Structure 1
Amino acid sequence: MSAPPAQANGHALAIPKVLCPEKLSPDGLALLRKTLEVDEKKGLSPKELMSIIAKYDALLVRSETKVTADVLKAAKKLKVVARAGVGVDNVDVPAATKLGIVVVNSPSGNIQAAAEHTIALLMSMARHVPDSSSSVKAGNWQRSKFVGVEVKGKVLAIVGLGKVGLIVARMARGLGMTVIASDPYASESVAAAANVTLVPSLAELLPQCDFLTIHTPMLASTRGMMSTTELNQLKKGARVLNVARGGIIDEVALLEALESGHLAGAAIDVFTSEPPTKAEPGSALAKLIQHPNIVCTPHLGASTVEAQENVSIDVCEQVLQILQGDLPRSAVNAPIILPAEYKTLQPFVRLVEKMGSLYTQHFSQGHRAQDGKHQGSNQQRTTFDLIYEGELAGMSSTKPLFAALIKGLTSPITDTESSSFNVNIVNAEMVAKERGIFVNEQKSRDPVMQAYSSLVTLIARPPSRRPSLSRPTSSHNNKGPTTTALTATSNKPDRPERQHIISGYCSDTTPYISRLDGFATSFVPDGTLLICHNYDSPGKIGVVGSILGREAVNINFMSVAPASYKSSSSSNSSSGGATGGEGPPALVTAVEAAIAGDVPGGRATPTPKEATEALMILGVDREVRGEVVDELIGTGGVLSVSSVVL
């Protein structure tokens, strides 16, 4: 029985839908069916896939379905493409990355199966097993026709000593073979432990071997890497295998080497075009699969019961993780984050996204002021400092926080541009680059405050104060920053502008904003907020509350933020937010002190006039009409009002 859908604002959320257009082991699909809706629609044509993909949140494929850029563009809700296997050459990964769609695979679920199939093909080729079996079934008994060779004492060369290559090496050693390998990234100690001799180049490797097997991914550098030149470097009578990806061995060159008698045989499980049986008659591929000295199998490297179960469970677990907001184990187009660190970062991901959205809505998009004008920055800021203090500075990767900031900065704009726009850890750097956003991430291990472990500060710099784009190197406590330097272009404004500052922290898993420019505060950035900049004098809270009450706008919480760096007083009604005496106090840090010279007025200490000003942050239960905002400003003493939805 499926779990009931989650509730949000009193309404049931739609159950995420998963499309599986290919046969997949039921073990993994059973995991998904506990909480998701799974549609198995086998044999879809590209046109049929395009016509239905828009309603799905996840797509599960093996090797046959082509996930093209056009398919991905049509997938308005798609969050993840899961490839049940290793290779992802049937998925347009760059297009998925641009759209913020995570691509995952299962790099280890079928390695044993692929290695065993390699050895099976090697032995079948050496002893003519397929042809001799077919001969007997045809009623023949021709023992002398199928004399083979022993593999004991022969040299096996492996190109690509990864997980599959290592297992093949160990099995071959067990058969009494000498194993050599070429892999620029292979560890000498790992190779030595497997009794494999590393050879520095293909030119040295190829002439030594009796059997050659390929175990590399399909890349631009590996496509056609075994062409006429390389195959001719093999000794006469050598045999080659490919259980990796079709196209790594040039099929035309392989056919020529077999027809000339230079190669004694080949065993191929993967082809440039699958199925090869549909190749044009008379083509090199059609001739190759019919050659008497080749053993062919229909892409069976991962076709074992165990491998199918493993990859199915693996990718289905990752689909669940992504749809639940977590990071997968094997994302092809997203960074790997340690699980423990990701758990620690999660509350701050929400905080930083809220900080970015708060900046865009409150500072960048502006607010209504006493003169009736819409005030805000002269232009959208494109240069930001993101400062991590305390324990947060010790994280090995802060990419989720960077992605959260880009999402927060752009979502108030992009949400109105396209309902399908999705900024996340997959495409955040690309989005930042396209929009000219420069983020300088800095880390400080200085303790922020005894009661709290970490603080995040966002500084939006005026265009004239943008730091050098040659990867900033400022740091604190001699610990270098983590910097994402992306090209930003901006013109000098007509008048000088000050930087804007937002600070925040997390108490348990709840995010708090502790500072807006020079105003100390403590509130939870959630829901609809009214931010009133007013003179700090008696009666203001009552007047604002009276106007909102007359409009049937309920105040969920209120936080009064004085122009100070010490503390904030706040009051609270029934639901949520920081409360006077209950909410955590605003924080003061060395980094804040260092940048305090750019508070309103450009002074670290407020002047007597500024000291009489405050921010009133109100959490309300609905958006407030423009006429009501105008009335709030018209009461006197309220300098400006902005409405923010977080």
Structure 2
Amino acid sequence: MTNPEIKVLVAEKIGDSGVDLLKQHFDVTVKTDWADGELAAELGGYDGVLIRSASKLTADVLEGATNLKAIGRAGVGVDNVDVPAATKRGIVVANAPQSNVVTAAEHTLALLLALARNVPQAHAALVAGRWDRSKYSGVELMDKTLGVLGFGRIGQLVAERAQGFGMKVVAYDPYVAADRYREMGVEKAETSDDVYAVADFITIHLPKTPETEGWLNAEAFAKCKDGVRILNVARGPLIVEEDLVAALDSGKVAGAALDVFRTEPMTESPLFGRENVVVTPHLGASTAEATDRAGFQAAEQVVAALTGGAVTTAVNVPAVGAEDLEVLGPFLPLCRKLGKLAVSVADGGSVDRLEIEFLGRIAERDTRPLVLNVLLGALSGHTEEDVNEVNAPELAKERGIEIQESKRGSARDFTDLVRVTVVSDSGRQRSRVVGTTLGRRNRPHLLEVWGERFNVQLEDHLLLFRYQDVPGMIGRVGTALGTADVNIGQAAVGRTESGDHPDGMAAIVMTTDRATPADVLQQLLAGPEFATGRSITF
């Protein structure tokens, strides 16, 4: 259902699928022709904006965008967005990092085949009137070894496709689990030198960082097999072009295929015009499908950011991949509720530390989004600023709240557990809540509060009491709620490990169809038998 109160601007041309998705949720304006300064002047009227590479969202531009909450970049890079400035203002910045992975992998294979079989050179000779059949005899890919430097998503797609040609693949990437190599039938190289020693073809798929810049240099080429062929469809600065020229001149490198260059656009290079070099003008992401996919994926992120969903590709908040999201997704609302509940029932005068424990299968995942949702719940309503996924950690830091996370691979009695403990008054007070998700719909359940154990499905409105364990107390609560026209959905009396209440106190948790009026709560707490009570709306 469209929410006309949320306004989104599509500031550059994207595929229709992305625009249509946005229009299903928001009031959308599409405008792609901007005069100087015009975008900055109009951006303040929108909650979200979707851009490509032409729009420059600088700190000055963002300063005037007082309503902006989400920026979607239809593409991989976010160089045209001042991410720190956006983060400071609580604006989610998300890109479409998976939009061109298939396209880039396919272009790598296109260059691999072109390099092996001299396709561009033979084509140019033939259209020029030369039948140079013997001159452009190539090499087969069958039984050759492809070395992959950088075994992320693109590197893995390249490996899969190369295996289809009967190639052996050896890959180097220290940040990929050994199991992933085994699953794909790829040999795991312990160092890049191990790749150089055996590869007939080398393709590089590393990010550009100070550590990776110039990765393939004279030293690396010297370690390669004689006659190796080099491919780069990733980033130009990964290869020292002067060293590649020298290696080609010496015959150490038999050929190269390049789609990217140190500076772009590039029209003059000592690499151009060589019979053993194939070049393309940065076409790795250039397909109609990739362009449409980028717009749609960026639109998905804007929708998620503006509707409270999981923003999986944010560059300034913890992101969770698709595999982790399948496991962690149902726990996001649970964590947010536990965070709010833990702070609400804490008896101390401060919140010094949040101790967050994950037990079970969720502990094996990247739990940063879960930690963030606990923090969102804990801070919600307790800060001057509106709290969101972007500024929550900074607000906690500013308030001196320490976040302590721990994980354990097993959980007693349940498949997964989340424990949130509020430590207050310099460690003198500790208050813990515990929850999990149950059932096919993964509904959040409260399992522990105030040291008492329950099993209550967490609804929008919750009522909790600690009271003297004497007959008639539950009836008094029910009568008061009935008089106030508040219906009880569920009710559960807590139990301890031994089943009794040695301090003479018991606890009850109730869900209700609406918030309990403050005067009703105060009326009940005025009775001497009630120690404490809370009415919480999530």
Using structure 1 for the length normalisation, give the TM-score. 0.60
Q: Provide closer, same or farther for how the CA distance between residues 194 and 516 of structure 1 changes in structure 2, counting only shifts above 3 A.
A: closer
Q: Quickly say closer, same or farther: Cα 1:440–1:316, change in 2 above 3 A.
A: closer
The reply on whether 1:297 has 2:290 as its aligned counterpart is: no
SS where residue 224 of structure 1 aligns? Answer: coil
**For 1:322 and 1:352, how far apart are their aligned partners in 2?**
21
Q: Distance in 1 between matches of 2:309 and 2:289?
A: 27
Deviation at 1:237, TM superposition (A): 5.9
Name the structure 2 match of 1:383.
Answer: 353
- Native 8 Å contact 2:21 2:299 kept in 1: yes
Q: Report how far residue 35 of structure 1 moved.
A: 1.9
Report Cα offsets for 1:459-508 as digits up to 9, x if no partner: 5434443xxxxxxxxxxxxxxxxxxxxxxxxxxxxxxx655577889999
Map of 1:288 onto structure 2: 269
Deviation at 1:292, TM superposition (A): 1.6
The equivalent of 2:307 in structure 1 is: 324
Give 2:494's aligned residue: 587
C-alpha contact 1:402 1:428 (8 A) present in aligned 2? no
Q: Which residue does the alignment assign to 1:334?
A: 319
Q: Indicate the SS of the match to 1:158.
A: strand
Could you tell me which residue of structure 1 aligns to residue 401 of structure 2?
A: 436
Q: 1:504 and 1:166 mapped to 2: Cα distance?
A: 38
Aligned to 1:555: none
**Match for 1:291: what amino acid?**
F
Deviation at 1:403, TM superposition (A): 2.6
Q: Secondary structure at the match of 1:148?
A: coil
Q: In the alignment, does 2:402 pair up with 1:411?
A: no
Change (3 A) 1:162 1:324: same
* RMSD between aligned residues: 5.7
Letter in 1 for 2:273: P
Q: How does 1:47-126 map to 2 (within 5 A)?
A: 51-62=41-52, 76-85=66-75, 99=90, 101=92, 103-107=94-98, 109-125=99-115
Asked whether the 8 Å contact 1:46–1:66 carries over to 2, the reply is no
Give the deviation of 1:298 after TM superposition: 3.0
Q: Percent identity?
A: 30
How far apart are the structure 2 equivalents of 1:387 and 1:244? Answer: 39
Kindly tell me: are residues 132 and 340 of structure 1, through their superposed partners in 2, closer, same or farther at Cα, counting changes over 3 Å? closer
Aligned residue number for residue 26 of structure 1: 16
1:461 aligns with 2:423: yes
* Residue number in structure 1 paired with 2:331: 345
- Is the CA contact 1:349–1:400 (under 8 Å) kept in the aligned structure 2? no
Equivalence for 2:371: 402
CA distance in structure 2 between the partners assigned to 1:525 and 1:309 by the alignment: 40
Quick check: 453-462 or 112-121, which moved more?
Answer: 453-462
1:243: Cα distance to partner? 0.8
Change (3 A) 1:125 1:591: farther
Shift of 1:231: 3.5
What SS does the corresponding residue of 1:351 show, helix, strand or coil? helix
Q: 2:136 aligns with which of 148, 155, 162?
A: 148
Within the candidate set 143, 150, 165, 1:160 is matched to 150
Q: Which has the larger radius of gyration?
A: 1
Q: Distance in 2 between matches of 1:406 and 1:159?
A: 38
- Could you say if the C-alpha distance between residues 28 and 317 of structure 1 is closer, same or farther in structure 2, counting changes exceeding 3 Å? same
Distance of aligned partners of 1:342 and 1:214 in 2 relative to their CA distance in 1, 3 Å threshold: closer
Q: 1:341 to 1:210 in 2, by over 3 A?
A: closer
Q: CA deviation at 1:79?
A: 4.9
- Which has the higher mean CA deviation after the structures are superposed, 40-49 or 25-34? 40-49
Aligned match of 1:540: none
Whether the 8 Å CA contact 2:94–2:311 is kept in 1: the answer is no
Pairwise CA distance, 1:150: 0.3
Q: CA deviation at 1:151?
A: 2.5
CA distance in 2 between partners of 1:216 and 1:161 (Å) = 8
The answer for unaligned runs of 5 or more in structure 1 is: 6-12, 278-285, 365-376, 466-496, 530-557, 597-603, 625-629
Distance 1:128 1:459, change over 3 A: closer
CA deviations over 1:103-132 (Å, ceiling 9, x no partner): 35343x543322221232234455665567
Q: How many residues align?
A: 516
Relative to 1, partners in 2 of residues 1:124 and 1:48: Cα closer, same or farther, differing over 3 Å? Answer: farther
Partner SS, residue 236 of structure 2 = coil
Aligned position for 1:206: 196
In the aligned structure 1, how far is the partner of 2:482 from the partner of 2:117? 83
Of stretches 31-40 and 53-62 in structure 1, the one that deviates more from structure 2 is 53-62
CA distance in 2, matches of 1:513, 1:173: 50
Is this contact kept in 1: 2:53–2:80, CA < 8 A? yes
| Alignment match, 2:258 | 268
Partner in structure 2 of residue 217 of structure 1: 207
> What is the match of residue 15 of structure 1?
6
1:65-89 CA-to-partner distances (Å, cap 9, x unmatched) read: 6666776676655555545455666
Tell me if the contact between 1:459 and 1:500 (Cα under 8 Å) persists in the aligned partners: yes
The structural deviation recorded for 1:262 is 6.1
**Cα distance in 2 between the residues matched to 1:119 and 1:95:** 39
User: Aligned equivalents of 1:455 and 1:126: distance in 2?
Assistant: 54
Aligned twin of 1:231 = 221
Distance change >3 Å, CA 175–CA 75, structure 1 → 2: same
Distance 1:499 1:20, change over 3 A: same
Q: Which amino acid aligns with 2:96?
A: N
CA contact (8 A) 1:88 1:105 kept: no
Task: Give how far 1:352 is off.
Answer: 2.1
Q: Counterpart of 2:503? A: 605
Rounded to whole Å, the distance in 2 between the matches of 1:432 and 1:170 is 44
Deviations 1:310-361 (A, max 9, x none): 444444344434433232555663234755654643552452243256358x
Give the Å deviation of 1:33. 1.9
Q: Is contact 2:145-2:168 (8 Å) kept?
A: yes
CA distance in structure 1 between the aligned counterparts of 2:94 and 2:123, rounded to whole angstroms: 42
CA contact (8 A) 1:289 1:296 kept: no
The aligned residue for residue 355 of structure 1 is 341
**Compared with structure 1, are the counterparts of its residues 413 and 503 closer, same or farther at alpha carbon in structure 2 (3 Å cutoff)?**
same
- Structure 2 counterpart SS, 1:288: coil
Distance 1:238 1:272 in 2: 22
- Cα distance in 1 for partners of 2:162, 2:312 equals 31
Map 1:565-576 onto structure 2 (within 5 A).
568-569=474-475, 570-571=477-478, 572=481
Look up the SS of the partner of 2:238 in the other structure. Answer: coil
Q: 1:192 & 1:620 partners in 2: Cα distance? A: 54
Q: CA deviation at 1:225?
A: 0.9
Amino acid at match of 1:113: T
